[in-house]
Chains A and B, each alone.
Chain A
Amino acid sequence: MRILVNGAWRETVAAELSTVLEELGYGGAVVATAVNGEFVALGVRPRTRLAEGDRVEVLAPMQGG
């Protein structure tokens, strides 16, 4: 299945957001997620099933003004 992660197309095997994050190397990282522009809380990731073409945002803390 192809999904758009942070603006780049990625091929994934898993369907659940939490597993996809593990697959992409985010395991253990402090990140926040959104799917198709809607916030997905940490606790909801395991039961959030992704579909072909979904847009996933994975954001981490960064310097800001």
Chain B
Amino acid sequence: MLQLYGTALRSRLLLGTARYPSPAVLTEAVRAARAEVVTVALRRESGGERAGQGFWSIIRELGVRVLPNTAGCHSVKEAVATAHMAREVFGTSWIKLEVIGEDDTLQPDVFGLTEAARILCAQGFEVFPYTTEDLVVAERLLAAGCRVLMPWGAPIGSGRGLNNPFGLTALRAHFPDVPLIIDAGIGVPSHAARALELGFDAVLINTAVAQARAPAQMAAAFAQAVEAGRAARLAGPMEPRDLAAPSTPVIGTAFRG
């Protein structure tokens, strides 16, 4: 089973809760994905408005664990304050730490990220940093106290899959015992299967499910892909080769010699 900060999880598919056509569709998708962890956020709400309260009721009824994020934060100070606000509202020390450094790619500001991670880990948070596949940054995040890393596959919402499989493979090999969750850029179930085949422990999907024509159906497809990818990883994939190798034995082939 997947262990994240001492919590054992059967499902290796984490689901985002944004961009669904309706709350009912979100609920169906979470169930179809058999997700045990969903991500949530905090946003400004005006007095008298109760959209956030309604959303929070829906999530609580699902009975899943929540992973709040600091999406939209562009500085260490914003991310740290948002993490504290999330801990109070959602009642969890888990925080998906995002410090955004560039608006077109939503690429993490890895310098701000490591600083915010150091502060939050020291304050008792269990930090899930949204990072790149950079090995040195990963080392710094672990030194800061992180026990899980969330490298991107591709820019958030791009659906491009694993942009740098070589770099991600190196990351996996370098940190064999750290839970690694591919966080962003997954577009279709085959991308998720590939991530698990490469040895990643889990994937976090949002847009690819929420923006599908039939989100619940897509969530179920992702669940199957994640299971297949994990099973394949455990089964030990063959090494690719450049030339053909006959799969049917050649000894005793008719009409030869």
Residues of chain A having any CB pair with chain B under 8 Å: 6-7, 21, 24-26, 29-34, 37-39, 41-42, 57-65
Contacts and interface: CB of A to CB of B under 8 A. Distances in A.
B41 interface: yes
B206 A65 contact: yes
Given A61-B53, A62-B40, A65-B16, A33 B85 contact: yes
16 contacts: A6-B46, A7-B44, A24-B47, A29-B52, A30-B56, A32-B88, A33-B85, A38-B81, A42-B88, A58-B44, A58-B45, A60-B89, A61-B41, A63-B19, A64-B41, A65-B206
B85 A64 contact: no
B20 A63 contact: yes
A22 to B, nearest CB: 9
Given A24-B47, A25-B47, A32 B42 contact: yes
A64 B17 contact: yes
A62 B55 contact: yes
Nearest to A35: B81
Q: Is the interface of B mostly helix, strand, loop or mixed?
A: mixed
Contacts of B88: 32, 39, 41-42
Contacts of B78: 37
B55 A63 contact: yes
A30 B53 contact: yes
Interface of B: 16-20, 26, 39-53, 55-56, 59, 68-69, 71, 77-78, 80-82, 84-86, 88-90, 156-157, 204, 206-207
Contact of A39 (B39, B43, B84): B84
A14 B42 CA distance: 26
Contacts of A25: 46-48
A62 B59 CA distance: 10
A48 to B, nearest CB: 14
A25 B45 CA distance: 11
A37 B45 contact: no
Nearest to A28: B53
Contacts of B45: 6, 29, 31, 58-60, 62
B148 to A, nearest CB: 17
A8 to B, nearest CB: 8
B177 to A, nearest CB: 27
Nearest to B15: A65
Given A33-B85, A39-B84, A61 B44 contact: no
Given A24-B47, A29-B53, A37-B77, A61 B89 contact: yes
